[in-house]
Structure 1
Amino acid sequence: MKRNKNLSIVSLVLLLSILFIASSSTVSVDARKHHSKKTKPHKHPKDKGENGGSSFPGPAPAPPADYGPVPTQSSIFDVLFFGAKGDGVSDDSKALLAAWKAACKIPGATVEIPSEFKFLINPITLQGPCMPHLVLQIDGTVLAPSKVGSWPKSSLFQWINFKWLHNFTIQGSGTVDGQGSNWWSSTSAASQSKHIKALRFYSSYDVNVRDIKIIDSPQCHLKFDSSGGVKISNITISSPADSPNTDGIHLQNTQDVQIQHSNIGCGDDCISIQAGCTNVHVHHINCGPGHGISLGGLGKDETIACVSNIVVENISVQNTLSGVRIKTWQGGRGSVKNVTFRNARVSDVKVPIIIDQFYCDKSFCKNQTKAVEISGVKYDQIIGTYSVKPFHLACSNGVPCTDIGLTDIQLNPSPSHQGFQKGLCNNSYGKSRAPLVPSSIDYCLGSGGDAVRRISRSHDYVC
């Protein structure tokens, strides 16, 4: 009798253990999806351009091994479940990091920033390598610390830093707000803000950024460094025209890039293309206010800077310092080659076309004979109005600009401005073709022939 009783107790314990394990498994599965909505897959509008894909040869650096197809049912990791408050006041950085680390292990996972909430995030690094097809879905608002003193001094280079990612997407209907007004209003803080990037990607490949809005970064809004296979589409970037140093998109050492169908207006360059960039296609962009679309400044402090295979086309530029610009520092080395600016509509732009091999952002810079070589630059269908002068091609005496093309340039003075200057051409060589307005463009480019080409080749540097 006693033996039977003992067997009954053992059986009961076993049964309770089995029920406990089953219950724990159910809770574990449910917990991961707690607070999450079963959202439909994010739809991205189709490209409106004729050439939606990149036309450039050469692959991006090789991504890691393929882990197979994207799961049909992605796992969603909502930051609210991981402890985020979403009140715009509490620090939600740890919750975002926890959601990221959990999602990073799952192919096709989504980290969700839900709508109707504001999440205060302190400087943070979200890094890989992660499983492929990871998505950061931003439908709510992400806020940077508003007070300058609340930023750790060691984090003055980026706010949200993405590192070592492959097959990664940021998308959504939400806003990334850098809250930069306190930085711009303080002289000392403004000097520090030159080093801050709102969203920064480092050593990342096959990255998509689409649909989101990025506003009021203390400095650069979106930066890619040492990356490749980048596609940016249908985004909005904005900050006040008087906010200093606020680039929209900044590219450095990055290749195979497409930037399309976006609106960018800020205090500095709408798009800044820096040293080490190649195979970049920019099209269907509205730019302004700001400094326009720029290559450079390149070759600062006598460094080597190499940029090649750049196409900027089908753009609209309004109320900016320049339209399309190439700027290099005296004393620099390297080259800018194979650049096309095509079908640019400019309105009330101070100087629509600029090549400046004497770039200097200080009150005094010493004269130097070395310069970054500029060759193979085509301007085709640059049409609209200017408020200061139509063009400024200031090329080095020692390293002149060669193979410059000016075709269908029609630039008239803005009706609302006075005191216009004539266009400048200095040591620039190539060909021009009508229609050309003003007519002085027809006499702008010299034809130095073999002598000019020999001078340029004598300054070649391996890029």
Structure 2
Amino acid sequence: MNCFKTYSLVILSIVLFLWSSRIETCHAREGNLWSLKRTSPPANSVKEKGYARTAGSSHQHAGRSTISTPQGGSSKSFNVLDFGAKGDGNTDDSKAFEATWAAACKVEASTMIVPSGSVFLLHYISFSGPGCQADIVFQLDGKIIAPTSPGAWKSGLLQWIEFTKLNGITIQASEGDMMMSAKMPGTKPTALRFYGSTRVVVTGITIQNSPQTHLKFDDCTTVQVSDFTAASPENSPNTDGIHLQNSQDVLIYSSDLACGDDCVSIQTGCSKVYIHNVNCGPGHGISIGGLGKGNSKACVSNVTVRDVAMLNTLTGVRIKTWQGGSGSVQGVTFSNIQVSGVKTPIMIDQFYCDGSKCKNESSAVAVSDINYINIKGTYTANPVHLACSDGLPCTGISLSAIELDPVKEDSQPFCWNTYGELRTSTVPPINCLKMGKSSKTVVDC
């Protein structure tokens, strides 16, 4: 009987042990399934922007990638070769570029790739923005060339390549450039134009031999240009390096501008323009204007140009206005300008006329609060030329640390109806400046 009891207790203990083990195993499996559900998001929780996030969670698990990036590219990169571009320098690749843009345009923060090692022939092309997503990058690593035959260009065509009405557009290059023929038959288009766009970045590109302006911004805001090169011969007329019109919040720096007209041209409607660390020459210098042509109203304000080197240019820093205009240029500073062999380093010309004859007018664009600081180097004709309107004098013209020496013969500074102050002695002495302020009212815009 005792043996039977002992045997029964052993059997009961074994049964209880097995039952307990089964319960623990079930709980363990249940816990593992819960954990897997938390670390593996459902398919619909993977976002289009390339990262995975579990619904209701704001963080990712460290050390674990929930999706993989495709090798050799991604859904946000669009290569023109994949859309039919040949890149042989002879085939017209315009249609392929348009197709690539149409695809990239649909994806936010996409990149359109123009690969290195190829030459792409493009006719006139417009990369239009309405309906495009924001923050598109145009990666120019190859070379783009323009056709030279007369039949390739429509009469009156104003630009070769343009980007219009975009919110966030970047053109960048590691070694890419755009090349035209300066002697194009029958037409003189601007090489690259941006219109009606915001947050525009141009960096690293070279434009060669444009028959008109190299780089132009119309009605743009928040513009940044850096490491840009314009390369055209001195005898190529109207080939501004960079042309600004009706654009605000513009930054231009670390660029080399060689052309046949203004290295930078700042036209009406521009404000908050900052230019620094730029090499200019050959060319006509950095100019505000011409303003007020055809009795028009012109407004330019808050412009700073500093740390610029001018070599063999027509002028250094210049403000030019037509007679008969209205409006104002105010709040301008030119500082730390080094000139070498410049015809006229400092110029205000309110009698500007690019034709053979312009009639005298009494009204003028008002020029006020212009600062010239630390402008040094050599000139070939006149060191300072300040020719202000008969009817509306320049006022608030301030000069300091001016040291300009002749390459050959001395010439005296010229002033006409110019009011301001000399904050330091100058070389040569600028004795023609009228001290104080003009009693005539400055017209605000």
Is the TM value for this pair above 0.5?
A: yes
Rounded Cα–Cα distance in structure 2 between residues aligned with 1:149 and 1:425: 51
Rounded Cα–Cα distance in structure 2 between residues aligned with 1:178 and 1:331: 39
Rounded Cα–Cα distance in structure 2 between residues aligned with 1:242 and 1:171: 29
User: Where does the alignment leave 5 or more consecutive residues of structure 1 unmatched?
Assistant: 1-35, 40-72
Aligned length: 375
Q: Does structure 2 conserve the Cα–Cα contact (< 8 Å) formed by 1:178 and 1:218?
A: no
In structure 2, what residue type is equivalent to 1:357? Q
Matched with 2:137 is 135
How far apart are residue 307 of structure 1 and its match? 0.1
CA displacement, residues 159-196 of structure 1 (integer Å, 9 cap, x when unaligned):
1111010111000123433422323xx6xx3xx42xx2
Matched with 1:223 is 216
How far apart are residue 419 of structure 1 and its match? 4.6
* RMSD (Å), alpha carbons: 1.6
Rounded Cα–Cα distance in structure 2 between residues aligned with 1:346 and 1:385: 6
Q: Does structure 2 conserve the Cα–Cα contact (< 8 Å) formed by 1:393 and 1:428?
A: yes
Matched with 1:82 is 83
Q: Does structure 2 conserve the Cα–Cα contact (< 8 Å) formed by 1:167 and 1:205?
A: yes
TM-score (norm. length: structure 1): 0.79
Matched with 2:14 is none
Alignment of 1:73-222 (within 5 A): 75-129=76-130, 130-153=132-155, 156-183=157-184, 189=186, 192-193=187-188, 196-222=189-215
Structure number with greater CO (CA < 8 Å, separation at least 6) is 1
Matched with 1:254 is 247
Task: Determine helix, strand or coil for the equivalent of 1:116.
Answer: coil
Matched with 2:256 is 263
User: Where does the alignment leave 5 or more consecutive residues of structure 2 unmatched?
Assistant: 1-69
Q: Does structure 2 conserve the Cα–Cα contact (< 8 Å) formed by 1:382 and 1:409?
A: yes
- Residue 364 of structure 2, aligned match among 365, 371, 393: 371
In structure 2, what residue type is equivalent to 1:456? T
Matched with 1:298 is 291
Matched with 2:393 is 400
Task: Determine helix, strand or coil for the equivalent of 2:192.
Answer: strand
Q: Does structure 2 conserve the Cα–Cα contact (< 8 Å) formed by 1:248 and 1:268?
A: yes
How far apart are residue 448 of structure 1 and its match? 5.0
> Against the structure 1 CA distance between its residues 282 and 74, is the aligned structure 2 distance closer, same or farther, given a 3 Å change threshold?
farther
- Residue 428 of structure 1, aligned match among 402, 418, 442: 418
Q: Does structure 2 conserve the Cα–Cα contact (< 8 Å) formed by 1:177 and 1:217?
A: no
How far apart are residue 133 of structure 1 and its match? 1.8
Task: Determine helix, strand or coil for the equivalent of 2:222.
Answer: strand
TM-score (norm. length: structure 2): 0.82
How far apart are residue 420 of structure 1 and its match? 4.6
Alignment of 1:8-19 (within 5 A): none
Matched with 2:57 is none
Task: Determine helix, strand or coil for the equivalent of 1:80.
Answer: helix
Q: Percent identity?
A: 51
Q: Does structure 1 conserve the Cα–Cα contact (< 8 Å) formed by 2:263 and 2:285?
A: yes
Task: Determine helix, strand or coil for the equivalent of 1:358.
Answer: coil
Task: Determine helix, strand or coil for the equivalent of 2:434.
Answer: coil
Rounded Cα–Cα distance in structure 2 between residues aligned with 1:349 and 1:148: 37
Q: Does structure 1 conserve the Cα–Cα contact (< 8 Å) formed by 2:249 and 2:271?
A: yes
Q: Does structure 1 conserve the Cα–Cα contact (< 8 Å) formed by 2:421 and 2:436?
A: no
In structure 2, what residue type is equivalent to 1:302? N
Task: Determine helix, strand or coil for the equivalent of 1:198.
Answer: strand
In structure 1, what residue type is equivalent to 2:90? V
- Residue 270 of structure 2, aligned match among 271, 277, 293: 277
- Residue 351 of structure 1, aligned match among 344, 350, 356: 344
Matched with 2:435 is 447
How far apart are residue 270 of structure 1 and its match? 0.4
Q: Does structure 1 conserve the Cα–Cα contact (< 8 Å) formed by 2:412 and 2:428?
A: no
